[in-house]
Amino acid sequence: LRSSEAQAATMLEVLEEGVMLVDLSGRPVQANAAAHRITGLTDLREFPNVFDPAWKLMDPAGFPLPTGAYPAVQALRTGVTVRDTQVLFTRPDGEWIIASLNAIPLLEGGQQAGAVVSFTDVTASYLLQRQLEAQALHDPLTGLPNRRQVTTLLKQLCGERPPPPTAVMILTLHNFPNLLDRIGRQGADRLIQLVAQRLEDAVSDRGVAAHLTEHEFLLLLTRPGPPEPAGPELLSGPESLVGPESPGETDRSDDPAGQWAAQLLDRLNGTFDLDGQAVHVTFRLGYALHPEDGRTPAELLRHADLALKHTGHSPAARRFEPVMAADVERRLRLEECLQRAVATGTLSVHYQPVMAVPQREIRSLEALLRWQDPVLGTVSPAEFIPVAESSGLINDLGTFVLREALCQAVRWNARRRAPLSVNVNVSVTQFSSGTFPDVVRDALHRTGADPRWLTLEVTEAVAAQDLPSVTRQLHALKALGARIALDDFGTGYSSLALLSQLPIDFLKLDRLLVQGVHLDPRRQVLLRSVVHLGLELGFVVVAEGVELPEELSFVQACGCAHVQGFLLARPQSPQQLNLNAPHH
């Protein structure tokens, strides 16, 4: 027996785990080496009785535990085993550890005789766990709560009864990609940190500011009160809440949350000092009020986002309005109908002649999509092309127009000495996969059209895409034998650099440059210069949207060789155009 006791004692001594034996009165009677090491108590006599508050055990968050909650006390009092309880223990040297404790009642002859308390130091893994949790809920760059945490918070708010009036605001840094180009990643990080600080100050104890994506923040304000009359401070008292207290209020423009948001933007829009470099930035903000503008977190976020989109490009704050959701609805309906139209072939292509002046001979025909929907009526391409672009339908649509137009060219040119070419509009998104030249090659092959009969019209928007990729594709199209027109020139950025970069044959001047030009001497200078520039660069210059004889004479005098517009011909169906007549 004695030898087995000795063996047990040896085993205890080599254990990594601290083990302490207490008798029925809670007095420690034995402790192994690990117990001394972990607690920092060198002598058995230093171990207090387990009922003694001198242990000063706390829960891991640092709240003192009553002795009744000590695991050993529980095991002694109730006779049940307590497992894996984490406590904070302060060692005699002042250092604290997190220990994981087990307390097992000791029985002798069926009678409770004491308890065995075993424990390990889990401080490192505890801290790591906390750090991981904090990282999961906080954005490491700004230290602000992240999307996950703030949506949890919003869920809680929406679940409260009665719901506390809350404003959900999405704030975004305008034109971030451009800014990033200018100040670089490091500068942008620093800027985001500064913005985060200002937001935290502004929101203070009225709510939280969270960091959503790199240039987007979410503010949850539980008490959007009126602005402070004096001083620049944004904070205000608890009075004048927005919410169910004022259900009859319909004035949406001038709610306290809106005033608060406007003030916030006033403070944010302007110059930030990035370690000596002055950077001018503007912000936009969209918000929705709970519960008037939405009742669920998802709805509130969606509506705030919609309001944000409706700020356009102005550095302003906007509240959600139901009509914004209606816009989205119409878009969705449009998308649905368009999908059907593509599938059932209720789209057609009309052609508008591009004439050489002064002979007034048709040189080419621009293919323009027409959609007559049984439900929606006539829908303008200006409305459905953007929908097709954002929904991805534009690729199918583009391929359809391309084949249709090439087929038409084959028909027109069958018995013609001087061939007509067709102009097909190409949307930037059709370049995004990088395989557009293959699509064109395939369409040429299927229709048997001569590549020289095809001109592809692109706009300056291609510059916003991956320009090297677009340029490469345009060169590939030229290599096939097709020609390229730069469309709508004079409306967007009118980038001169782009003119020298892209392999352009035609420069099409937008009708905004052309219309009414005969009445305005300054625009005459502008138009004349642009035409000369185009000619100098070796392009054929085409004036679009010519409606009046005065406009025609002016553009002709400037040197435009080609003209397109209602004055000469409207877009028409192939039947109306009747170009197959034998005299051509």
**Residue 293 interacting with ligand C2E (CB under 6 A):** no
Name the nearest CA neighbour of 355 among 346, 345, 365. 365
Output the smallest distance, CB 400 to ligand C2E, in A. 8
DSSP letters along 4-39, please? HHHHHHHHHHH-SSEEEEEETTS-EEEE-HHHHHHH
Output the smallest distance, CB 256 to Ca ion, in A. 46
**Residue 566 interacting with ligand C2E (CB under 6 A):** yes
Q: Are 209 and 196 in contact (CB under 8 A)?
A: yes
**Residue 186 interacting with ligand C2E (CB under 6 A):** no
62 C-beta neighbours (distance < 10 Å), count: 8
As beta bridge partners, residue 42 has none
Would you state the torsion angle of the CA atoms of residues 275, 280, 286, 290, taken in this order, to the nearest 10 degrees? Answer: 40
**Residue 385 interacting with ligand C2E (CB under 6 A):** yes
C-alpha 562/C-alpha 490 separation (Å) is: 17
Give the nearer residue to ligand C2E in terms of CB position, either 565 or 574.
565
As beta bridge partners, residue 105 has 115
Dihedral over Cα of 4, 6, 8, 10: its sign: negative
Residue carrying structure tokens 């929406």: 158
**Residue 488 interacting with Ca ion (CB under 5 A):** yes
Residue 114 binds what, of ligand C2E, Ca ion, none (CB under 5 to 8 Å, by partner type)? none
**Which pair of tokens denotes residue 116?**
């065995």
C-alpha 259/C-alpha 133 separation (Å) is: 36
**Residue 352 interacting with ligand C2E (CB under 6 A):** yes
**Residue 65 interacting with ligand C2E (CB under 6 A):** no
> 386: part of which helix (H) or strand (E)?
helix 381-391
Residue 39 binds what, of ligand C2E, Ca ion, none (CB under 5 to 8 Å, by partner type)? none
Output the smallest distance, CB 578 to ligand C2E, in A. 19
**Residue 256 interacting with ligand C2E (CB under 6 A):** no
Give the nearer residue to ligand C2E in terms of CB position, either 287 or 351.
351
Give the nearer residue to ligand C2E in terms of CB position, either 151 or 429.
429
Output the smallest distance, CB 171 to Ca ion, in A. 36
As beta bridge partners, residue 121 has 99
DSSP E strand boundaries for 233-276: 270-274
**Residue 460 interacting with Ca ion (CB under 5 A):** no
Alpha-carbon separation of residue 304 from 165, 234, 310 (angstroms): 15, 21, 10
C-alpha 421/C-alpha 454 separation (Å) is: 6
Alpha-carbon separation of residue 205 from 237, 509, 577 (angstroms): 11, 56, 70
The answer for residues whose C-beta is within 8 angstroms of residue 82's C-beta and 6 or more apart is 71, 74, 75, 101, 102, 103
Count residues binding Ca ion (CB under 5 A): 4
Residue 120 binds what, of ligand C2E, Ca ion, none (CB under 5 to 8 Å, by partner type)? none
Q: Which long-range contacts (CB under 8 A, 24 or more apart) does 525-531 make?
A: 527/554, 527/555, 527/558, 528/558, 530/489, 530/490, 530/494, 531/555, 531/558, 531/559, 531/560
- Contact positions with ligand C2E (CB under 6 A) in 462-501: 487-488
Give the x/- contact pattern for Ca ion in 411-430, rule: CB under 5 A.
Answer: --------------x-----
Output the smallest distance, CB 567 to Ca ion, in A. 16
Give the nearer residue to ligand C2E in terms of CB position, either 337 or 426.
426
**Residue 74 interacting with ligand C2E (CB under 6 A):** no
The answer for residues whose C-beta is within 8 angstroms of residue 194's C-beta and 6 or more apart is 272, 274
**Residue 382 interacting with ligand C2E (CB under 6 A):** yes
- Contact positions with ligand C2E (CB under 6 A) in 400-459: 401, 425-427
Give the nearer residue to ligand C2E in terms of CB position, either 255 or 488.
488
Name the nearest CA neighbour of 438 among 411, 398, 404. 398
Output the smallest distance, CB 551 to Ca ion, in A. 15
Give the x/- contact pattern for Ca ion in 134-153, rule: CB under 5 A.
Answer: --------------------
Residue 18 binds what, of ligand C2E, Ca ion, none (CB under 5 to 8 Å, by partner type)? none
**Which pair of tokens denotes residue 568?**
């000469």
**Residue 565 interacting with ligand C2E (CB under 6 A):** yes
**Residue 571 interacting with ligand C2E (CB under 6 A):** yes
Stretch that binds ligand C2E, among 307-315, 327-335, 366-374, 469-477 (CB under 6 A): 366-374
Among 299, 305, 389, 457, binds Ca ion (CB under 5 A): 457
- Contact positions with ligand C2E (CB under 6 A) in 496-515: 511
**Residue 574 interacting with ligand C2E (CB under 6 A):** no
Give the nearer residue to ligand C2E in terms of CB position, either 47 or 371.
371
**Residue 487 interacting with Ca ion (CB under 5 A):** yes
C-alpha 208/C-alpha 222 separation (Å) is: 9
Give the nearer residue to ligand C2E in terms of CB position, either 212 or 401.
401
Residue 427 binds what, of ligand C2E, Ca ion, none (CB under 5 to 8 Å, by partner type)? ligand C2E
**Residue 551 interacting with Ca ion (CB under 5 A):** no
Output the smallest distance, CB 263 to Ca ion, in A. 43
Give the nearer residue to Ca ion in terms of CB position, either 290 or 511.
511
Q: Are 338 and 388 in contact (CB under 8 A)?
A: yes
C-alpha 573/C-alpha 405 separation (Å) is: 11
Binding site for ligand C2E (CB under 6 A): 352, 367-369, 380-382, 385, 398, 401, 425-427, 487-488, 511, 545-547, 564-566, 571
| Contact residues: Ca ion, CB under 5 A | 425, 457, 487-488
